[in-house]
Structure 1
Amino acid sequence: MTATTLQPNEMTGLITIDAARCKGCDACKKFCPTGAIDGASGAAHSIDQSQCLSCGQCLMACPFGAINENHSALETVIQKLADKNTTVVGIIAPAVRVAIGEEFGLGAGELVTGKLYGAMHRAGFKIFDCNFAADLTIMEEGSEFIHRLHALVKGEDNAGPLPQFTSCCPGWVRYLELRYPSLLPHLSTAKSPQQMAGAVAKTYGANVYDMEPKNIFTVAVMPCTAKKVEASRPEFNSAWQYNKAHGDHAAEYADMDAVLTTREMAQLLRLLDIDLATTDEYRGDSLFSQYTGAGTIFGTTGGVMEAALRTAHKVLTGDEMPRLEFEPVRGLEGVKAASITLYDRALSQNVDIHVAVVHDMGHNIEPVLQEVLAGISPYHFIEVMNCAGGCVNGGGQPIDPSGSSWLAAL
């Protein structure tokens, strides 16, 4: 699912600096995980696109509004919504629902799931909650981890290496591609929830919507600017490949057609004269708006790991965790470590599982990777999220004009 260089059709130049507005204050450099920002203090900066992860953390941190997000699909999405021959599927990330309300005068962090469903329904979207796809993701990642763990315990060499890395964060995946391509086999082979959702919407979803896959237009609403680059990667056309193998002769199409940030979705609703704050709540229009609590917590650091451990506990022991909240992987420490001992029915023995959770990647990931490279990592499974606090603080979230943010708090 990965490549070490940009592919011909892949989006580039998503994040740029306006030299005329840049004051050279270096605020952006403090939050760039790869050191991709060039320029001396006091002089206009620029971005080395070959090293940029498109994570948008510099954009969130710039006090002068000198950093821009390019490649907006806003106009295209509005055109598709007006096309009666197109079914537009809105795929909503969990972190969006606790942020978009700020754009409409609601309280910071207020959960507005029902209102967001309602507003998007009024706009013409079919509702596909990305939590549904996150549940799929954790079943895939969790099952893959158990397969790798069993191979290790049995002394077999027929599975991927441990520790297994999560693969949900596109900034993190790109970081490995740029800096540590030798560690790519450690990545889970599972797609991110966004990309799973796009593929499902255009395969099984085509039956749910009673539409030809080529007439389904998928729109991810994400807290993350890097998700735009992820969606543009040419290898993500599995729905087309599947449908082609089953007799669909349509021209090639991507799994995910467009990505809007939280900010852009707020802009779209305003352009359509839809006030989120006064919109009635809506429950969704298909099973794709149903999900578990495991999918919901994907948006914060530790959420993927907690969901994975719940899955591992159920699969290995046959029982649900007696307490679903796994406190050791929660909180805002840069690197969190935890261990759990489970009785594995398949192996008829206890197994010790050691995990780690890393966020604010630019400040915390290197020591963890050096241990993996040296073969001395104590962990079996490592969750990595680029942004401080996880997706809730992604580069596509609302920007507080007062300058108060997760970044400042951390």
Structure 2
Amino acid sequence: MPEFHSRFQELQRRVPIDEHNCAVRFDVTKCKNCTLCRRACANTQTVMEYYNLASTGDMPICVHCGQCAAACPFGAMEEVDDVSKVKAAIQDPDKIVIFQTAPAVRVGLGEAFGMDPGSFVEGKMVAALRALGGNYIFDTDFGADMTIMEEATELLHRLQSEEIPIPQFTSCCPAWVEFAETFYPELIPHLSSTKSPISIFSPVIKTWFAQKNNIDPRKIVNVCVTPCTAKKSEIRWPQLNSSSIFWDIPELRDTDICITTRELARWITDEHIDFAQLEDSPFDRVFGQSSGGGKIFGNSGGVMEAAIRTAYYMFTGRPAPKDFIPFEPVRGLNGVKKASVAFGHFVLHVAAISGLGNARAFIDELIEHDDFENYSFIEVMACPGGCIGGGGQPKVKLPQVKKVQEARMASLYQSDADTDIKASWQNPEIEQLYKEFLDEPLSETAESMLHTYFTDKSDELGKMKHLTPETNPESKRFKPHTVNLV
């Protein structure tokens, strides 16, 4: 057989990025071959070197996490910029532009304007989005509360059923989902079918909200602002079109555009908006506010803690005790955090994992020891630290990463501490939404609007599957090494 020659150059120093990648782009003219992107992908996330380009037909495997872009100090790796699409929608008088903002954006955005790491700039963020032309500004934290209502109910069903496998893995991180679909398709039955907060909120905006306000859903341009480059991929998943099915409008998408924290910061700067001087503005209260559980979703362990607060009530009929709030065992920056939780006569063994390399090692150990049923619930976030360390957050120099992530994490936990309503089930607006539209968790309407399915993508690896750096011929050929920065 002829020797394989890849179209990608310097594979010992760079991550190969296809020109059609919807989340990340590569500018070769800015690349200094520093190897930081490669190390982020191969070592931290264990994607590169775990597939072979000759086997994939020279198509890079990418889970769109953006950690290569977060690591690149030269601007060679960046997120795909979609701000022009949002501007075009705002300039169209026939469109209604709705922004929804993820929890971690409000504790990262201020850094782009010289503020201290972790500065809580929710009010200024909302004011900036209004100044940029948004017609409505909604809080994705409310979507997080919906996710917890469904996910906690789903967990209860799994634990009481002999047919649905445990543990239940979270599915609110699209990069983790793509990682599992590609490298561990056998885990798909374990993934929660509940949509991520953004993807659970969007169809409700384009159905219930549109109906209640007599808005043609075709006029709505739904824009999510996220710390995450992988959301640019997620919103394109064909199955995320519940509003299309509801209205019988084939071309309708639940979420239309995704921009990252960095994109929003650049846009604010380009429009000469003095961010620091903006007066705080509140979210539109169409959907109301979120619980503290919804607010901490951006932290590794936050989804787990929020789920425990609501699941405890669903299991026992009583509010979670004070020693569950805060639930310290799943807080912090450790890549793997384990805990046991007593729910009446149930004892749940749980884990919260961040960083795909940590997830791979944890899953491989579960497989090796056939240890799956010893866990009930496992949270996985692709980015180290969770969404606060997302691939679309303001970039941080390597020596400062831990300090900055700790500050962002602490800021989200403080917003939880300042909130009276701690658990999703206690949110009166959530209760009202179910009463008026969704009926109850896992109802027929909830299933159609708030749940999804996943696909085995392991065929994208080609014939060579289950590779490691030790067994991958490509890794041996392109042995990575570090070069001195000039």
- Scaled to the shorter chain, the TM-score interval is 0.7 to 0.9
Given that residues 97 and 112 in structure 1 are in contact (C-alpha distance below 8 angstroms), is that contact kept between their aligned partners in structure 2?
Answer: yes
Measure, in 2, the Cα distance between the counterparts of 1:86 and 1:16: 29
Cα deviation, residue 374, structure 1: 5.1
Measure, in 2, the Cα distance between the counterparts of 1:54 and 1:296: 24
Match of 2:118 among 100, 106, 109: 109
Q: SS of 1:299's equivalent? A: coil
Q: SS of 1:90's equivalent? A: strand
1:1-45, Cα deviation, whole Å (9 max, x unpaired):
xxxxxxxxxx7353243334333332222221133279xxxxxxx
Measure, in 2, the Cα distance between the counterparts of 1:139 and 1:409: 28
Identical amino acids, percent of aligned pairs = 42
Task: Compare 296-305 and 100-109 and name the one that shifted more.
Answer: 100-109
1:136-172, Cα deviation, whole Å (9 max, x unpaired):
0011111000000111xxxx32xx2100000000110
Cα deviation, residue 372, structure 1: 4.5
Q: SS of 1:109's equivalent? A: coil
Counterpart of 1:238, as a letter, is S
Given that residues 389 and 405 in structure 2 are in contact (C-alpha distance below 8 angstroms), is that contact kept between their aligned partners in structure 1?
Answer: no
Match of 2:333 in 1: 332
1:290-311, Cα deviation, whole Å (9 max, x unpaired):
1111011000000000011111
Runs of 4 or more, structure 1, over 4 Å off, are 407-410
Alignment of 1:202-213 (within 5 A): 202-213=206-217
Measure, in 2, the Cα distance between the counterparts of 1:107 and 1:308: 30
1:225-283, Cα deviation, whole Å (9 max, x unpaired):
01100011121111110122xxxxx4421100000000111122233332221111112
Measure, in 1, the Cα distance between the counterparts of 2:34 and 2:24: 18
Q: SS of 1:200's equivalent? A: helix
Which one has the bigger helix percentage?
Answer: 2
Task: Compare 59-68 and 288-297 and name the one that shifted more.
Answer: 59-68
Measure, in 1, the Cα distance between the counterparts of 2:74 and 2:272: 29
Counterpart of 1:314, as a letter, is Y
Given that residues 94 and 298 in structure 1 are in contact (C-alpha distance below 8 angstroms), is that contact kept between their aligned partners in structure 2?
Answer: yes
Match of 1:144 in 2: 154
Cα deviation, residue 364, structure 1: 4.3
Match of 1:4 in 2: none
Match of 1:381 among 373, 377, 380: 377
Cα deviation, residue 367, structure 1: 2.8
Task: Compare 278-287 and 305-314 and name the one that shifted more.
Answer: 278-287
Cα deviation, residue 385, structure 1: 0.4
Match of 2:78 in 1: 68
Counterpart of 1:387, as a letter, is C
Counterpart of 1:116, as a letter, is M
Alignment of 1:125-274 (within 5 A): 125=134, 126-151=136-161, 156-157=162-163, 160-244=164-248, 250-274=249-273
Cα deviation, residue 83, structure 1: 2.3
Given that residues 388 and 407 in structure 1 are in contact (C-alpha distance below 8 angstroms), is that contact kept between their aligned partners in structure 2?
Answer: no
Counterpart of 2:276, as a letter, is A
Given that residues 199 and 235 in structure 2 are in contact (C-alpha distance below 8 angstroms), is that contact kept between their aligned partners in structure 1?
Answer: yes
Given that residues 104 and 275 in structure 1 are in contact (C-alpha distance below 8 angstroms), is that contact kept between their aligned partners in structure 2?
Answer: no
The verdict on how the C-alpha distance between 1:65 and 1:123 changes in structure 2, with shifts beyond 3 A counting, is closer
Q: SS of 1:392's equivalent? A: helix
1:188-233, Cα deviation, whole Å (9 max, x unpaired):
0001111112111101110344311111110000001011000111
Q: SS of 1:96's equivalent? A: helix
Match of 1:45 in 2: none
Match of 2:477 in 1: none
Match of 2:296 in 1: 297
Given that residues 98 and 110 in structure 1 are in contact (C-alpha distance below 8 angstroms), is that contact kept between their aligned partners in structure 2?
Answer: yes
Measure, in 1, the Cα distance between the counterparts of 2:212 and 2:264: 25
Given that residues 336 and 358 in structure 2 are in contact (C-alpha distance below 8 angstroms), is that contact kept between their aligned partners in structure 1?
Answer: no
Higher relative contact order (CA 8 A, sep 6+): 2
Measure, in 1, the Cα distance between the counterparts of 2:300 and 2:87: 33
Given that residues 305 and 329 in structure 1 are in contact (C-alpha distance below 8 angstroms), is that contact kept between their aligned partners in structure 2?
Answer: yes
Measure, in 1, the Cα distance between the counterparts of 2:116 and 2:267: 20
Given that residues 46 and 356 in structure 2 are in contact (C-alpha distance below 8 angstroms), is that contact kept between their aligned partners in structure 1?
Answer: no
Given that residues 22 and 232 in structure 2 are in contact (C-alpha distance below 8 angstroms), is that contact kept between their aligned partners in structure 1?
Answer: no
Cα deviation, residue 132, structure 1: 0.4
- 1:315 matches 2:314: yes
The verdict on how the C-alpha distance between 1:35 and 1:275 changes in structure 2, with shifts beyond 3 A counting, is same
Cα deviation, residue 342, structure 1: 1.6
Given that residues 46 and 360 in structure 2 are in contact (C-alpha distance below 8 angstroms), is that contact kept between their aligned partners in structure 1?
Answer: no
Q: SS of 1:132's equivalent? A: helix
Structure 2 residue runs without a partner (length 5+): 1-19, 51-57, 407-486
RMSD of aligned Cα (Å): 2.2
Measure, in 2, the Cα distance between the counterparts of 1:407 and 1:176: 30
Aligned residues: 373
Structure 1 residue runs without a partner (length 5+): 1-10, 39-47, 245-249, 344-349
Measure, in 1, the Cα distance between the counterparts of 2:30 and 2:267: 26
Match of 2:48 in 1: 36
Measure, in 2, the Cα distance between the counterparts of 1:407 and 1:384: 22
Given that residues 358 and 365 in structure 1 are in contact (C-alpha distance below 8 angstroms), is that contact kept between their aligned partners in structure 2?
Answer: no
Cα deviation, residue 401, structure 1: 6.2
Match of 2:433 in 1: none
Counterpart of 1:336, as a letter, is K
Counterpart of 1:58, as a letter, is C
Measure, in 2, the Cα distance between the counterparts of 1:398 and 1:162: 37
TM norm structure 1: 0.85
The verdict on how the C-alpha distance between 1:55 and 1:407 changes in structure 2, with shifts beyond 3 A counting, is farther
Match of 1:41 in 2: none
